[in-house]
Amino acid sequence: MEQLLPVLLIVLAFVLLFILPARQRKKLAERQAAMQQALRIGTPIMLSCGLYGTVAALQETTLDVEIAAGTMVRFARAAVLEVPTPAEDNAAEGGGVDLGKTSDLGKTSDRRTSDRRASDRKASDRKASDRKASDGEAADG
């Protein structure tokens, strides 16, 4: 019995490390292929490179994506990563994300402006003191 334990552990490790992940990859690939075959003109998509666009034309292995008004780009169908849901689509367009313009604590842009002014004042004060010091050295020398 003790001789079988190491063999059973090796078989279990093989199953856990190779067989189960392979099955999951196969299911994911089937789901991705079904999604890519179900694409229609006008479907909003996200590509694997992170671009969002709308399907403008379909070919057997490629598709044309409109990424801006009048801007068409051709990609392989395999580049389609997902069809975003309306909630994801809204967040991608900036509707659900603030992007640092304002925050819960107040307007961050006002804070940035005041921080920038303070650092500009410090820099100008340093320049003025440097000029005074150099003027003093020139008068002494």
pLDDT tens-digit profile of 14-65? 888 888 888 899 998 899 888 888 889 999 999 999 999 999 999 989 999 9
Neighbours of 36 (CB within 10 A): 18
* pLDDT over 80 (residue 139): no
Together in a domain, 45 and 82: yes
Which runs of consecutive H residues, i.e. helices, occur in 1-141? 4-14, 20-37, 86-92, 108-140
Look up residue 122 and give its amino acid.
K
Together in a domain, 23 and 7: yes
Sign of CA dihedral 27, 28, 30, 35: positive
Together in a domain, 33 and 55: no
Together in a domain, 92 and 43: yes
What's residue 53's pLDDT?
94
Reported as a single tens digit per residue, the pLDDT across 80-122 is 988 887 665 455 555 444 445 444 444 444 555 556 666 677 7
Structural domain boundaries enclosing 108: 99-141
Number of domains observed in the structure of the chain: 3
- Report how far residue 68's alpha carbon sits from residue 53's, in angstroms, rounded to the nearest whole number: 7
The model carries a pTM of 0.48
What's residue 121's pLDDT?
72
